Amino acid sequence: MYISCFSKFLIALIATGTAFSGSVVASSSNEKDLGQLFRHYGSDKDINGYTSVYHALFNSLKNEPVKMLEIGIGTMIPGAHSSMVGYARPGYKPGGSLRAWRDYFVNGSIYGIDIQEDTQFHDEARIETYLCYSNDKTEVEALMGHLGDMKFDIIIDDGSHFDMDQMKTLSHFYPYLKDGGIYIIEDIYPGSTLTTMPSVLSSFCHNDPYFFVGIHNNICVIFKNHLKRDGAPYSY
Protein backbone atom coordinates (compact mmCIF):
# COMPACT_ATOMS: atom_id res chain seq x y z
CA MET A 1 0.00 0.00 0.00
CA TYR A 2 1.51 3.31 -1.06
CA ILE A 3 0.43 5.31 1.98
CA SER A 4 2.03 2.67 4.22
CA CYS A 5 5.34 2.98 2.39
CA PHE A 6 5.03 6.76 2.47
CA SER A 7 4.42 6.66 6.21
CA LYS A 8 7.63 4.70 6.79
CA PHE A 9 9.54 7.19 4.64
CA LEU A 10 8.21 10.20 6.55
CA ILE A 11 8.94 8.63 9.93
CA ALA A 12 12.55 8.11 8.85
CA LEU A 13 12.69 11.61 7.38
CA ILE A 14 11.48 13.24 10.59
CA ALA A 15 13.70 11.07 12.76
CA THR A 16 16.85 11.97 10.86
CA GLY A 17 16.04 15.67 10.47
CA THR A 18 16.84 15.46 6.76
CA ALA A 19 17.50 18.83 5.09
CA PHE A 20 16.51 19.66 1.56
CA SER A 21 18.74 21.55 -0.82
CA GLY A 22 19.97 21.58 -4.39
CA SER A 23 18.20 20.85 -7.62
CA VAL A 24 15.98 17.93 -8.51
CA VAL A 25 17.65 15.34 -10.69
CA ALA A 26 15.47 12.91 -12.63
CA SER A 27 16.27 9.26 -11.99
CA SER A 28 15.47 8.28 -15.55
CA SER A 29 14.94 9.94 -18.89
CA ASN A 30 11.21 9.23 -18.66
CA GLU A 31 10.71 10.88 -15.27
CA LYS A 32 8.96 14.23 -15.28
CA ASP A 33 10.85 17.07 -13.67
CA LEU A 34 8.50 18.77 -11.22
CA GLY A 35 10.41 22.05 -11.41
CA GLN A 36 9.99 22.13 -15.18
CA LEU A 37 6.27 21.54 -14.77
CA PHE A 38 5.93 24.42 -12.33
CA ARG A 39 7.83 26.71 -14.69
CA HIS A 40 5.92 25.51 -17.74
CA TYR A 41 2.63 26.53 -16.14
CA GLY A 42 3.98 29.80 -14.73
CA SER A 43 3.83 28.81 -11.06
CA ASP A 44 6.29 30.44 -8.66
CA LYS A 45 6.79 27.27 -6.59
CA ASP A 46 10.07 26.37 -8.28
CA ILE A 47 11.65 29.81 -7.93
CA ASN A 48 10.52 29.83 -4.28
CA GLY A 49 12.66 26.74 -3.74
CA TYR A 50 9.85 24.26 -3.06
CA THR A 51 10.61 21.76 -5.84
CA SER A 52 13.31 19.81 -3.98
CA VAL A 53 11.07 19.46 -0.93
CA TYR A 54 8.12 18.22 -2.93
CA HIS A 55 10.23 15.89 -5.03
CA ALA A 56 11.64 14.30 -1.86
CA LEU A 57 8.17 13.94 -0.31
CA PHE A 58 6.13 12.85 -3.30
CA ASN A 59 8.34 11.17 -5.89
CA SER A 60 7.36 7.70 -4.70
CA LEU A 61 3.68 8.58 -5.19
CA LYS A 62 3.89 9.84 -8.79
CA ASN A 63 2.07 6.83 -10.24
CA GLU A 64 -0.41 6.34 -7.41
CA PRO A 65 -4.09 7.41 -7.51
CA VAL A 66 -3.55 10.19 -4.97
CA LYS A 67 -6.19 12.76 -4.13
CA MET A 68 -4.64 16.20 -3.62
CA LEU A 69 -6.26 19.43 -2.50
CA GLU A 70 -4.60 22.80 -3.02
CA ILE A 71 -6.08 25.73 -1.13
CA GLY A 72 -5.50 28.91 -3.13
CA ILE A 73 -5.61 28.51 -6.91
CA GLY A 74 -3.93 31.80 -7.75
CA THR A 75 -6.09 34.72 -8.89
CA MET A 76 -4.86 37.29 -11.39
CA ILE A 77 -7.15 40.04 -10.10
CA PRO A 78 -4.94 43.05 -9.25
CA GLY A 79 -5.17 44.00 -5.58
CA ALA A 80 -6.95 40.80 -4.55
CA HIS A 81 -5.62 39.05 -1.47
CA SER A 82 -2.79 36.65 -2.44
CA SER A 83 -3.01 37.72 -6.08
CA MET A 84 -0.39 36.26 -8.41
CA VAL A 85 0.03 39.62 -10.13
CA GLY A 86 3.73 40.41 -9.88
CA TYR A 87 4.59 36.83 -8.88
CA ALA A 88 3.32 34.74 -11.79
CA ARG A 89 5.88 33.55 -14.29
CA PRO A 90 5.50 33.75 -18.08
CA GLY A 91 2.62 31.62 -19.38
CA TYR A 92 0.69 31.67 -16.12
CA LYS A 93 -3.07 31.56 -15.82
CA PRO A 94 -5.04 30.74 -12.67
CA GLY A 95 -4.53 27.12 -11.71
CA GLY A 96 -0.94 26.81 -12.87
CA SER A 97 0.20 24.66 -9.98
CA LEU A 98 -2.93 22.48 -10.24
CA ARG A 99 -1.93 21.65 -13.80
CA ALA A 100 1.63 20.91 -12.72
CA TRP A 101 0.38 18.55 -10.01
CA ARG A 102 -2.00 16.89 -12.48
CA ASP A 103 0.88 16.17 -14.85
CA TYR A 104 3.17 15.05 -12.03
CA PHE A 105 0.68 12.66 -10.41
CA VAL A 106 -0.20 10.86 -13.62
CA ASN A 107 -3.04 8.88 -11.99
CA GLY A 108 -4.02 11.47 -9.43
CA SER A 109 -7.11 13.61 -8.92
CA ILE A 110 -6.41 17.26 -8.19
CA TYR A 111 -8.81 19.61 -6.39
CA GLY A 112 -8.46 23.33 -5.89
CA ILE A 113 -10.42 25.93 -3.93
CA ASP A 114 -10.34 29.72 -3.97
CA ILE A 115 -12.64 32.67 -3.31
CA GLN A 116 -12.08 34.45 -6.63
CA GLU A 117 -14.24 33.74 -9.67
CA ASP A 118 -11.37 33.96 -12.16
CA THR A 119 -9.77 30.85 -10.62
CA GLN A 120 -12.60 28.55 -11.64
CA PHE A 121 -12.42 26.21 -14.63
CA HIS A 122 -14.17 22.92 -15.32
CA ASP A 123 -12.84 21.71 -18.66
CA GLU A 124 -9.53 20.03 -17.82
CA ALA A 125 -8.96 16.37 -17.10
CA ARG A 126 -8.47 15.30 -13.48
CA ILE A 127 -8.81 18.80 -12.07
CA GLU A 128 -11.82 20.09 -10.15
CA THR A 129 -12.11 23.66 -8.85
CA TYR A 130 -14.55 25.09 -6.32
CA LEU A 131 -15.33 28.40 -4.68
CA CYS A 132 -14.86 28.05 -0.94
CA TYR A 133 -13.57 30.33 1.83
CA SER A 134 -11.28 28.12 3.89
CA ASN A 135 -11.67 30.30 7.01
CA ASP A 136 -15.41 29.61 7.10
CA LYS A 137 -16.15 26.23 8.68
CA THR A 138 -19.71 26.21 7.31
CA GLU A 139 -18.49 26.68 3.74
CA VAL A 140 -15.82 24.01 4.18
CA GLU A 141 -18.34 21.52 5.56
CA ALA A 142 -20.75 22.27 2.71
CA LEU A 143 -18.04 21.71 0.12
CA MET A 144 -16.86 18.48 1.70
CA GLY A 145 -20.43 17.27 1.96
CA HIS A 146 -20.76 17.89 -1.79
CA LEU A 147 -17.58 15.81 -2.28
CA GLY A 148 -18.93 12.97 -0.17
CA ASP A 149 -16.70 13.79 2.81
CA MET A 150 -13.73 12.42 0.88
CA LYS A 151 -10.30 12.25 2.49
CA PHE A 152 -7.21 13.61 0.76
CA ASP A 153 -3.73 12.10 0.64
CA ILE A 154 -2.13 15.54 0.36
CA ILE A 155 -3.40 19.01 1.29
CA ILE A 156 -1.36 22.12 0.45
CA ASP A 157 -2.36 25.50 1.88
CA ASP A 158 -1.20 28.16 -0.56
CA GLY A 159 -4.08 30.52 0.18
CA SER A 160 -3.83 33.40 2.60
CA HIS A 161 -0.33 33.69 4.03
CA PHE A 162 -1.45 35.30 7.30
CA ASP A 163 -0.84 33.00 10.24
CA MET A 164 -4.32 33.35 11.75
CA ASP A 165 -5.84 32.32 8.40
CA GLN A 166 -3.42 29.42 8.06
CA MET A 167 -4.37 28.12 11.49
CA LYS A 168 -8.11 28.40 10.79
CA THR A 169 -7.66 26.63 7.47
CA LEU A 170 -5.67 23.86 9.14
CA SER A 171 -8.34 23.34 11.78
CA HIS A 172 -11.09 23.15 9.14
CA PHE A 173 -9.37 20.85 6.63
CA TYR A 174 -7.18 18.60 8.77
CA PRO A 175 -10.12 16.26 9.52
CA TYR A 176 -10.35 15.63 5.76
CA LEU A 177 -6.74 14.42 5.49
CA LYS A 178 -6.26 10.66 5.39
CA ASP A 179 -4.34 8.93 8.14
CA GLY A 180 -0.76 8.78 6.86
CA GLY A 181 -1.35 11.84 4.69
CA ILE A 182 0.63 15.04 4.43
CA TYR A 183 -0.56 18.59 5.14
CA ILE A 184 1.69 21.44 3.99
CA ILE A 185 1.49 25.14 4.81
CA GLU A 186 3.39 27.28 2.32
CA ASP A 187 4.78 30.79 2.64
CA ILE A 188 4.99 31.11 6.40
CA TYR A 189 6.29 34.64 6.87
CA PRO A 190 9.19 35.51 9.20
CA GLY A 191 7.86 36.20 12.68
CA SER A 192 4.70 34.13 12.14
CA THR A 193 3.11 32.60 15.22
CA LEU A 194 3.63 29.22 13.55
CA THR A 195 7.41 29.57 13.72
CA THR A 196 7.81 31.70 16.86
CA MET A 197 5.42 29.48 18.86
CA PRO A 198 5.13 26.21 16.86
CA SER A 199 3.47 24.45 19.78
CA VAL A 200 0.19 26.06 18.63
CA LEU A 201 0.14 23.50 15.84
CA SER A 202 -0.38 20.67 18.28
CA SER A 203 -3.93 21.72 19.10
CA PHE A 204 -4.87 21.65 15.41
CA CYS A 205 -3.08 18.45 14.37
CA HIS A 206 -3.52 16.50 17.61
CA ASN A 207 0.21 16.27 18.33
CA ASP A 208 0.99 14.66 14.99
CA PRO A 209 4.65 15.21 14.00
CA TYR A 210 5.65 18.22 11.93
CA PHE A 211 8.76 20.02 10.76
CA PHE A 212 9.74 23.26 9.05
CA VAL A 213 11.85 23.69 5.93
CA GLY A 214 13.65 26.93 5.12
CA ILE A 215 13.64 30.43 6.55
CA HIS A 216 12.37 32.67 3.73
CA ASN A 217 9.17 31.28 2.17
CA ASN A 218 9.14 28.77 5.00
CA ILE A 219 7.14 25.54 4.64
CA CYS A 220 5.58 23.51 7.43
CA VAL A 221 5.05 19.79 6.77
CA ILE A 222 2.62 17.90 9.01
CA PHE A 223 2.48 14.11 8.96
CA LYS A 224 -0.88 12.69 10.04
CA ASN A 225 0.41 9.72 11.97
CA HIS A 226 0.38 10.09 15.73
CA LEU A 227 3.59 9.22 17.56
CA LYS A 228 3.34 6.40 20.07
CA ARG A 229 4.99 8.59 22.69
CA ASP A 230 5.32 12.30 23.26
CA GLY A 231 8.72 13.65 22.25
CA ALA A 232 10.44 16.87 23.15
CA PRO A 233 8.68 20.01 21.87
CA TYR A 234 9.76 21.40 18.52
CA SER A 235 12.62 23.87 18.81
CA TYR A 236 15.39 25.39 16.70
Per domain, the residue ranges of the chain are: 2-19+36-223
* Among candidate residues 170, 175, 128, 178, the one with its CA nearest the CA of residue 152: 178
Positive or negative, the Cα torsion across 161, 164, 169, 171? positive
Give per-residue pLDDT as tens, 141-151. 999 999 999 99
Give per-residue pLDDT as tens, 23-47. 444 433 345 689 999 999 999 999 8
Q: Which residues does the annotation mark as catalytic?
A: 161
Note the maximum CA span of the chain.
Answer: 48
Contact 220, 200 (CB under 8 A): no
Give per-residue pLDDT as tens, 124-172. 999 999 999 999 999 999 999 999 999 999 999 999 989 999 999 999 9
What homologous superfamily does CATH list for 2-19+36-223? Vaccinia Virus protein VP39 (3.40.50.150)
pTM: 0.84
> pLDDT value at position 78?
83
Give per-residue pLDDT as tens, 205-234. 988 999 999 876 689 999 999 877 666 665
Q: Three-class SS of residue 13?
A: helix
